[in-house]
Structure 1
C-alpha cells in the first residue's frame, strides 16, 4: 500500500535501471558471415519451402530472412524461383487420377480449365 502523498508535491520519484541506459541493445547482435547468409537465402528460395520454417531452423526471425532475400534479389545475387525457367521443357508425363471407379489419364497438353470440366463430369456421373 502506498503512503499518502500531499497534493502540493511538485516532484516525482523515478527509478533508473543503469543497464538499460546504455546505448547498446540488451541482446548483442549476431554478425552473420556472407556465405552463411547466402546459403540460408538459397535454402529459402527453393520451390515449395516455408520461409518462416527455414528462419526458425536457423534461429533468426522470418522478417530478417525476408530482408536478406530482398537485398540479395535487389543486388542480382539470386533469382526468384516462382516461375519455371524459360528453357525448361514442359513435363511430358501422364497423370492418372482415380475418381470412384473411373480413371482419368491427363497429358501435359490438357488445359487446367478442360481438366476441371472433365473431373466435374466424372464426379457427377
Structure 2
C-alpha cells in the first residue's frame, strides 16, 4: 500500500456524469437538393449563416462547409461538357482592291488576324499558343 492511499481524504470524489445515447443519434443524411436549398437560403439578403443553420438544426461550420463545397463545384468545369468552338463567319469574296490587307511580317511569314469587337489581334504563324490564348482572354475581358 502506498503512503498516499493511507492519507485521510477530506473531500469526497466529485460525482461524474455519464450519458448514454440510444437510437440513431443526431447524424442525419441530407440530399443534394436539401443542401442546395439551405445554402441558397443562407445566401439570401438579410440572412446570417448562424440563423439559417439553427433553423435547420445544423452547426454554422457545417453550413459554411456546404457553401465552400458549392462554390468549388461551380468553379470546376463539368466533366461532360463538350469542347467549345469559335463561330466562323464566311464573307463573300470581294475584289482584290477592296479587300483589306494585313501588313506583311518582316520575315515574310504568314499572319492570322483575329477580330474581337473593335479590336484586331494579328499573330504570325508559329506563335506560342499559350501566350496567344492569354492575349485573346485579355482582349475579350475589355472589349464589349
Question: Per the shorter chain, which TM-score range?
Answer: 0.3 to 0.5
Length-normalised TM-score, structure 1? 0.41
Rg comparison, structure with higher value: 2
Length-normalised TM-score, structure 2? 0.35
- The higher relative CO (CA closer than 8 Å, separation ≥ 6) is in 1
